[in-house]
Amino acid sequence: MGIIQRIFKDIKLHRLFLDLSLLSARISLAMIIATFRMILPCSMKRLLGETVLITGTGHGIGRELAIQLSSMGCIIVCWDNDIDGNRSTMREVSKNGGEVYGFVVDVSKRLEVRETVRLMRKVGVPDVTILINNAAVLYHKSFSSLDPDDVERTFDVNVLSNFWTIEAFLPTMLMKGSGHIVAISSMCGIYGVSQKVAYCSSKFAVRGLMEALHEEVRLNERKPNIHFTTIYPFYVDTGLAKDPEYRFPYIFGVVTPEYAAREIIKAIRRNDTEYSIPRSLFSLNVINRILPESVMRLILDFLADVDRKQKERDAMNSRLDLICSESTKLRDYAQ
């Protein structure tokens, strides 16, 4: 009996050694391929004839994505609850000769999403091959001043709408064995930011949704060719957030919606899984996460120029105290 156990043990060790050797070879090959892709420009897929549905097309990034993708030969489907803004985007796409469909829909409401999908099929809109979840809201408030309705609205629009749209279009992509799902997250989905607790929470959730869904589809036995891309912009001038003040504006500066749309399209064409705008932020994040938390916080405070802002606030408070003091003296003198 002891001999048989030793034989089985030897077989298991031998198999483990072979598995580890195979894993090592696969890792080495993957590293070589990844290195070559970083050095050599990868081929970009053509988007001609793709049917692209974009949420939040009434303004900002969504509007620019619709215009730029239509110029590349895509059929555009515009979703927004802003009737005038959506019509304006559709007119711009049509003016440039693009094929466009528009629907007024609140993406945070599952029934509206499902009814709109049924309407699309009824009027003959081609099956969606690229879904871009772009719609979002942001309430710039401290946690103590957040209204419960603001929190619910944030998650309804920024998170749950992704579930409802993916629920509507992923089954067809799985059936056809191809497709592309894109989520516009934020660098707030990687780092927590003061005064944006609800927004950061929602963007972290989007990151988790995309990563988990990507893994689920990757392990699907039918091996569908469906790509997932999560975009992490730092700051885009869309009017959604206040203008941040950071050192090194050439890295952390504000970018236009036009530029952001171009970068997003580039990531889609390369089938990138994750992409930050600017691109350098992802590298900085990887380096930062290796460091101890105390060091990471020091670097973040330096980049945000926290010391200078604190001094400015202290100086402002001193001036206010002086003004109040002088006002009190004048009032006492007048009496």
Which residues carry out catalysis? 199
Which residue do the tokens 């405070």 mark?
301
Query: How big is the CA angle at 315 (ends 313 and 317), to the nearest 5 degrees?
Result: 70
Among 246, 148, 164, 272, residue whose Cα is nearest residue 209:
164
Element (DSSP H or E) covering residue 119: helix 110-123
Which residue do the tokens 């970083």 mark?
38
Among 184, 102, 87, 89, residue whose Cα is nearest residue 136:
184
What would the two tokens of residue 272 be? Answer: 């990138």
Query: How big is the CA angle at 300 (ends 299 and 301), to the nearest 5 degrees?
Result: 90
For 264-300, letters b (16+ CB in 10 Å) and e give bbebbbbebebbbbbeebbeeeeebeeeeeeebeeee
- Residue 21 contacts by C-beta under 8 Å, 6 or more apart in sequence? none
Enumerate the β-bridge partners of residue 277. Answer: 233
Query: How big is the CA angle at 133 (ends 127 and 135), to the nearest 5 degrees?
Result: 125
